[in-house]
Amino acid sequence: MSGVRPPTTSSRPPSRASSHPSETNDRQVPLKRAQSATARTTEQNTATNAVSSASETNIQVVVRCRDRNKREIEENSGVIISPSKDGHSITVQTSALTELNNKTYTFDKVFGGGSSQQDVFDVTVEPIVQEMLGGYNCTIFAYGQTGTGKTYTMSGDMSDHCGGIPPATAGIIPRALCRIFQVLDQAGDEYSVKCSFIELYNEELRDLLSTQDDSKVKIFDDSTKKGGIIINGMEELAVNDATHGVKILQEGSRKREVAATKCNEASSRSHSVFTITVHIKQTSTEGEDMLRVGKLYLVDLAGSENVGRSGAENKRAREAGMINQSLLTLGRVINALVDRSQHVPYRESKLTRLLQDSLGGRTKTCIIATLSPAKINMDETVSTLEYANRAKSIKNKPQVNQMMTKKALIKDYIIEIERLKGDLNSTRMKNGVYMTEESHLELVNQNESNKLLTEEQQRKIDAMEAQLQSAKEQFESTMAAYTTTKKTLEKTSKDLLDTESTLSTTKDTLATTSLNLEKESLLRRAHQQSEIELNTVAITLKDTLATTVEHVKGLHAKVDRKRDVEQANQSSWTDMQGNLCTVAQSIDGTLAKYSKAQSRSSKVIADRVTSFVIKEMKLFSDGHQYMDMQLQAFQERKAQVDTTSTGARVEMETVLGEIKSLREEVKSRLGDGLQNLNVAAQRIAEEISGQMGLFQKDIYESYDGLASEFKQVFSRTEAHINSQSAEIRKLKEALHAASQTNTTLIEQISKELIDTQDSNSREAQAKEAEALQQIQMMLSSIASEREARMQEARNAFKNKIEGAITEMHDQSHQNGTAIDLWTNADGVYGRKLAKDKDEIRKAIVNSWNTAKERSETIQQSTEAIHRETVHLVDAAMQNVDDQTRALDEFVTRAKKMNEAHHAEQHIAVSALLTNAQETAQSVQHEFNKAKSEIEACGKDILGKTAEQVREVQEFSTDLGRHTEAVKQNSQTALREDRPTQTTPKKQDYVYPTSWKTTAVHEELLAQYRGVEVEEVSLAERNPLSIVDVNVTSPILLQASLGPVEDELAIPVVQKSSIPGPRARGSGEKETIRAIGSGGQENGPRPPKTRKRALA
Q: Is 359 left (phi over 0), alpha (psi -120 to 50) or beta?
A: beta
What is the C-alpha to C-alpha distance for residues 710 and 702, in angstroms, rounded to an integer? 12
Q: Are 73 and 27 in contact (CB under 8 A)?
A: no
Among residues 383, 378, 432, 392, which one has the least CA distance to residue 22?
Answer: 432
Quote the pLDDT of residue 121: 94
623 is in an annotated binding site: no
578 is in an annotated binding site: no
Half-sphere exposure of residue 520: CA atoms within 13 angstroms, side-chain side: 12
What is the C-alpha to C-alpha distance for residues 59 and 56, in angstroms, rounded to an integer? 10
Count of C-beta atoms within a 10 Å radius of residue 579: 11
Among residues 385, 495, 427, 334, which one has the least CA distance to residue 144?
Answer: 385
502 is in an annotated binding site: no
β partners of residue 216: 206
The type of residue at 1066 is S
What is the C-alpha to C-alpha distance for residues 34 and 605, in angstroms, rounded to an integer? 75
169 is in an annotated binding site: no
pLDDT block averages, 10 residues each, the chain of length 1095: 36 34 36 34 37 68 92 88 91 73 91 91 94 93 88 84 75 94 90 92 86 78 73 87 91 78 66 92 82 92 67 66 83 84 85 83 91 90 92 88 81 81 73 65 82 85 88 88 89 88 87 85 84 86 84 83 80 74 74 73 74 74 74 74 74 73 71 64 61 65 65 68 69 68 67 66 66 58 62 65 65 64 66 70 71 67 62 68 70 73 72 70 72 73 73 71 68 65 72 74 76 42 43 43 40 39 39 39 40 34
Quote the pLDDT of residue 595: 72
Phi and psi torsions of 404, nearest 5°: -100, 145
Q: Are 609 and 942 in contact (CB under 8 A)?
A: yes
151 is in an annotated binding site: yes
148 is in an annotated binding site: yes
Q: Are 784 and 946 in contact (CB under 8 A)?
A: no
CA 42 from chain center: how many Å?
42
212 is in an annotated binding site: no
Q: Please name the residues in contact with 840: beta carbons below 8 A apart, sequence gap of 6 or more.
A: 707, 710, 890
The type of residue at 188 is G
Torsion angle of C-alpha atoms 1025, 1031, 1037, 1039, degrees rounded to 10: -120
CA 1004 from chain center: how many Å?
89
Q: Is 233 left (phi over 0), alpha (psi -120 to 50) or beta?
A: left
Torsion angle of C-alpha atoms 950, 952, 958, 959, degrees rounded to 10: -160
Helix axes 776-860, 869-970, angle to 10 degrees: 180
Q: Is 934 exposed, middle or buried (0-12, 13-18, 19+ CB in 10 A)?
A: buried
What is the C-alpha to C-alpha distance for residues 715 and 708, in angstroms, rounded to an integer? 10
Q: Residue 237 in 3-state DSSP?
A: strand
What is the C-alpha to C-alpha distance for residues 675 and 696, in angstroms, rounded to an integer? 19
Count of C-beta atoms within a 10 Å radius of residue 614: 11
Q: Are 397 and 360 in contact (CB under 8 A)?
A: no
Q: Are 262 and 311 in contact (CB under 8 A)?
A: yes
308 is in an annotated binding site: no
Torsion over CA: 485, 487, 491, 496 (sign): positive
pTM of structure:
0.40
Quote the pLDDT of residue 743: 67
Among residues 409, 404, 402, which one has the least CA distance to residue 136?
Answer: 402
Among residues 149, 151, 72, which one has the least CA distance to residue 377?
Answer: 72
Q: Are 302 and 271 in contact (CB under 8 A)?
A: yes
What is the C-alpha to C-alpha distance for residues 970 and 897, in angstroms, rounded to an integer? 105
Among residues 56, 24, 64, 20, which one has the least CA distance to residue 368?
Answer: 64
What is the C-alpha to C-alpha distance for residues 898 and 45, in angstroms, rounded to an integer? 134
What is the C-alpha to C-alpha distance for residues 368 and 359, in angstroms, rounded to an integer? 14
Helix axes 437-679, 1034-1041, angle to 10 degrees: 80
Quote the pLDDT of residue 670: 67
CA 639 from chain center: how many Å?
86
Q: Please name the residues in contact with 18: beta carbons below 8 A apart, sequence gap of 6 or more.
A: 434, 435, 437, 440
Q: Are 351 and 323 in contact (CB under 8 A)?
A: no
Q: Please name the residues in contact with 962: beta carbons below 8 A apart, sequence gap of 6 or more.
A: none
Q: Are 691 and 862 in contact (CB under 8 A)?
A: no
Half-sphere exposure of residue 1039: CA atoms within 13 angstroms, side-chain side: 6
For 471, 472, 478, the CA distances from 465, given in Å and listed in that order, are 10, 10, 20
Q: Are 374 and 79 in contact (CB under 8 A)?
A: yes
Helix axes 126-133, 172-187, angle to 10 degrees: 50
Quote the pLDDT of residue 653: 74
